[in-house]
Amino acid sequence: GSPSTNDQYYRTDLNLLCYYDGTQWLSVGEYPMAAAGTASGFSATTAAVFRFGCPQAFGTYFTRYSIAFGMGTNNASNYWSYTLQTYTTGNTVNATLASGDTSAFTTTYAETNGTIGAAAGSGIVVRFDITKHASAGNISPMLTVFYRLIVT
């Protein structure tokens, strides 16, 4: 018969414990992609800050993200916006995983977290971009994107 949601199966050939989420088999283990900005931060108007390669041996299913920001001047008028996207081999956007901005942060250090719940599809690179608005101070982001393997 067909698997039921949350059924588990141990793939001895891959040494992976997997579970069925209702539509696909995913690894139980969650893996991080992490990067941190420079100590002095970014000051440019727009920057492609981080790029990660998606695992190619399996499909990639993004589950959540965490971004910590160390910043200079930041308020409702002077802030940074960000996007987290997957790109194809032709360097075109495949999907936007998350986006937001720092305008509501009132301290020089802040953290934001969110769920994603999306497969990379034809995306082979994850890219984190930031854009400066008005006279925002330097920013030093620290990013972690979590994913599970799509197991077939």
Q: What is the pTM of this model?
A: 0.90
- The pLDDT score that the predictor gives to residue 147 is 96
- Is residue 138 within 8 Å of residue 110, measured between CB atoms? no
The pair of structure tokens assigned to 97 is 């995983």
Percentage, residues of the chain above pLDDT 70: 98
Which tens digits make up the pLDDT trace of 19-52? 999 999 999 999 999 988 776 778 877 777 788 8
The pair of structure tokens assigned to 31 is 């893996």
* The residue to which tokens 């949601």 are assigned: 5
In whole angstroms, what is the distance from residue 147 CA to residue 31 CA? Answer: 5
SS3 47: strand
Give the contacts of 89 (CB within 8 A, at least 6 positions apart).
124
In whole angstroms, what is the distance from residue 61 CA to residue 148 CA? Answer: 5
Which tens digits make up the pLDDT trace of 74-126? 999 999 999 999 999 888 999 999 999 999 998 889 999 999 999 998 889 99
